[in-house]
Amino acid sequence: MHQLPTTRMAFERDVIAGLSARPKTLSPKYLYDARGSALFEEICHTPEYYPTRTETALLRSAAAEIADDVPTGSVLVEFGSGASTKTRLLLDATPQIHAYVAVEISADAVSRAMARLTHDYPDLLVHPIVADFTEPFDIPDHLLARVQVGFFPGSTIGNFSREGAIDLLHSLRDRLGPASRLVVGADLVKNEEALLAAYDDEEGLTSSFNKNLLQRINRELGGDFDISLFAHSARWNAREQRIEMHLVSLQEQTVHIAGTPIAFAAGESIHTENSQKFTGESFRALARAAGWSVRRSWISDNPAFAVFELCP
Ligand code: AVJ
């Protein structure tokens, strides 16, 4: 691999800062350790979590169009590549792609994905980068010299605040260059019941995924969270048009992390994730604010999900 994973020190600093703030928050990027990444893949197969299968079907039907003017020798760069499942739809439709750069925060997820991909695409040059794509990372010069097709699926963009999303899309534009395009998947606003169910599945996988963050803190930072004293909560924030995941303390308690005491009131929550839902218009405005314009878009029927092709 070509980059160090998030260091323990950065994790500890962010956790202590987030849990000392009011309201308490933790960054969703820390949900994706090896167990969290595996749980997320399982969530994608639940009947309630519609985004993955909806976006997959949409990409399958749009792949030939997306591919139609990609120049020979292009490089596909994916941000948050996980298991690289959707990537295959683009690779299959776009033989012009010469190399695939996979940027992924979970070393475990990306090494599994790359083993399968190099086996199935023997002619493709595959370059995994274990990195947080919001931080600087290096793409080798011989790949950067080619036309870049950025791929940012899964509505990962929805995990960022508006300002965070604008900064990120700006930095991706600088990184990918003036001849590039960026294919982005974004979940759309829909009825509240469907949204809430998607983030609180019957099987309890989303709850386990959320609570794994506390177990990760216990494991990696020597925390003493009692997981049974926290409840998973998914909420629709209508004003902000986003789903929020929280972990709610079921009683007054004090938790210790690397020697630092963290006090919880009964009912106090840790806000662990935002999942912004867009409209065609709100996404267009976001892209414009970050220096991109929407060239083409594809939108599924119910449940509504969108794929946007952005050009600088
Ligand atoms: C992959 C980050 C887009 O926000 O829907 C799934 C993560 N969180 N269930 C999302 C997630 C809870 C997912 N993203």
Quick one: what percent of the chain has pLDDT higher than 90?
Answer: 94
Q: What does the pLDDT read at residue 246?
A: 98
Whole-number pLDDT of residue 7: 82
Asked whether residue 290 carries a pLDDT value surpassing 50, the answer given is yes
* Site residues for ligand 1, CB cut-off 6 Å: 43, 51, 154-156, 158-159, 199, 206, 245, 273, 275
Segment 177-196 mean pLDDT:
97
What does the pLDDT look like over 28-48, one tens digit per residue? 999 999 999 999 999 999 999
Residue nearest to atom 12 of ligand 1 (CA): 199
Question: What is the residue-averaged pLDDT of the chain?
Answer: 96
| 3-state secondary structure at position 224 | coil
Which residue's CA is the closest to the ligand 1 atom numbered 3? 156
C-alpha–C-alpha distance, residues 143 and 32, integer Å = 27
- CA terminus-to-terminus distance, the chain: 30
Residue 3 has pLDDT above 50, yes or no: no
Cross-sheet strand order for the sheet of 125-130: 125-130, 97-104, 74-79, 148-152, 181-187, 305-311, 293-299
How many angstroms separate the alpha carbon of residue 156 from the centre of ligand 1?
Answer: 7
Per residue in 222-234, pLDDT (tens digit) is: 999 999 999 999 9
DSSP letter at 291?
T
Range name among 20-24, 132-136, 162-166 with the lowest pLDDT average: 132-136
Q: Is the per-residue pLDDT at 217 higher than 70?
A: yes
How would residue 6 be classed by pLDDT, with cut points 50, 70 and 90? low
Whether residue 2 is predicted with pLDDT greater than 70 in this model: the reply is no
Query: How far away, in angstroms, is 276 Cα from ligand 1 center?
Result: 10
* pLDDT tens per residue, range 66-120: 999 999 999 999 999 999 999 999 999 999 999 999 999 889 999 999 999 999 9
d(CA 250, CA 228): 9
- Whether the per-residue pLDDT at 5 is higher than 80: the answer is no
CA-closest residue to ligand 1 atom 14: 156
Position 4 pLDDT exceeds 60: no
Instruction: Kindly state the average pLDDT of the residues 266-282.
Output: 98
Q: Which atom of ligand 1 is nearest to the CA of 274?
A: 4
Rounded distance between C-alpha atoms, residue 241 and residue 261, angstroms? 34
Give the mean model confidence (pLDDT) for residues 36-62. 97
Task: Name every residue whose Cβ is closer than 8 Å to that of residue 281 and which is 6 or more positions away in sequence.
Answer: none
Tell whether the model's pLDDT for residue 159 goes beyond 90: yes
- Mutational pocket test of ligand 1: of 78, 159, 210, the residue with most ligand atoms within 8 Å of the beta carbon: 159
Q: Which atom of ligand 1 is nearest to the CA of 82?
A: 1
Q: Is it the case that residue 240 has pLDDT exceeding 90? A: yes
User: 305 pLDDT exceeds 70?
Assistant: yes
Q: How far is the CA of 274 from the centre of ligand 1 (A)?
A: 8
Given this model, what pLDDT does residue 239 score? Answer: 98
Q: For a substitution probing ligand 1, which of 133, 155, 213 has the most ligand atoms within 8 Å of its CB?
A: 155
SS3 192: helix
Q: What is the pTM of this model?
A: 0.95
- Provide, rounded to the nearest whole percent, the portion of the chain with pLDDT above 70: 98
CA–CA–CA angle 87, 90, 96 (5° rounding): 125
Q: For atom 10 of ligand 1, which residue has the closest CA?
A: 275
CA of 142 to the centre of ligand 1 (A): 33
**Rounded Cα gap, residues 74 and 95, in angstroms:** 10
